[in-house]
Copies of this chain bind each other. A is one copy, B any other.
Amino acid sequence: VKLRDLAARLDCDLAGDGDLEIERVRSLEDAGPGDLTFLTNPRYAAQLGETKASAIILPSDAPAVPLASLRSRNPYLTFARALGVFHRPRLPTPGIHATAVVAPTASIGEGASIGPYVVVGDDVAIGPRATIFPHAVIYPGARIGADFVAHAGVVVREDIVIGDRVLLHAGVVLGADGFGFVPLPDAPFKIPQTGTVVIEDDVEIGANTTIDRATLGATIVRRGAKLDNLVMVGHNCEIGEASFLAAQAGLAGSTKLGRNVMMGGQAGAAGHLTIGDRAQIVAQSGVPSSVAAGAIVGGYPALDVTRWRRISAALLRLPELLRRVRRLERTVGIAPPTRADGRDEPPKR
Q: Which residues of A contact B (CB under 8 A)?
A: 25-27, 30, 74, 76-77, 79-81, 83-84, 86-87, 89-90, 97, 99, 101, 115-117, 119, 122, 133-135, 137, 139-141, 151-153, 155, 157-159, 169-171, 173, 176-177, 179-192, 194, 202, 204, 206-208, 210, 212, 215-217, 224, 226, 228-230, 232, 234, 241-242, 244, 246-248, 250, 252, 260, 265-266, 268, 270, 283-284, 286, 289-292, 295, 297, 299-304, 307, 310-312, 314-325, 327-329, 331-332, 334, 337, 341-345, 347-349
Contact, CB under 8 Å: B252 / A87: no
A233 CB, min distance to chain B CBs, angstroms:
9
Complex Cα gap A191–B232 (Å): 23
When C-beta atoms are compared, the residue in chain B nearest to A299 turns out to be B300
- Are A292 and B348 closer than 8 Å at their CB atoms? yes
Question: Is the beta-carbon distance between B226 and A247 smaller than 8 angstroms?
Answer: no
Q: Determine the distance from Cα of A21 to Cα of B199 in the docked complex, in whole angstroms.
A: 33
Residue pair B322, A311 in contact (C-beta under 8 Å): no
Known: A292-B348, A347-B303. A322 touches B332 (CB 8 A): no
Interface of chain A, helix or strand or loop or mixed? loop
A87 to B190 Cα, complex, angstroms: 13
Q: A236 — nearest CB in chain B belongs to which residue?
A: B27
Most B Cβ at <10 Å: residue of A77, A265, A268, A331: A265
B247–A266 touching, CB < 8 Å: no
On whether the beta carbons of B242 and A246 are closer than 8 Å, the reply is no
Also in contact, A242 and B185, with CB within 8 A (given A90-B141, A170-B155):
yes
- Identify the 9 closest CB pairs spanning chains A and B, nearest first: A176-B207, A137-B152, A155-B170, A284-B286, A173-B207, A80-B191, A304-B348, A207-B210, A303-B347
- Which residues on B sit within 8 Å (CB–CB) of A158? 90
With contacts A187-B202, A226-B179 taken as known, whether A314 is within 8 angstroms of B325 at the C-beta atoms is no
A337 to chain B minimum Cβ distance, whole angstroms, is 6
Q: A188-B244, A320-B344, A324-B329 are in contact. Are A312 and B301 (CB under 8 A)?
A: yes
Contact call B307/A345, Cβ cutoff below 8 A: yes
Q: Which residues of B contact A260 (CB under 8 A)?
A: 185
CB distance from A29 to the nearest CB of B (A): 9
Among candidates B80, B232, B270, residue contacting A248 with C-beta atoms closer than 8 Å: B232
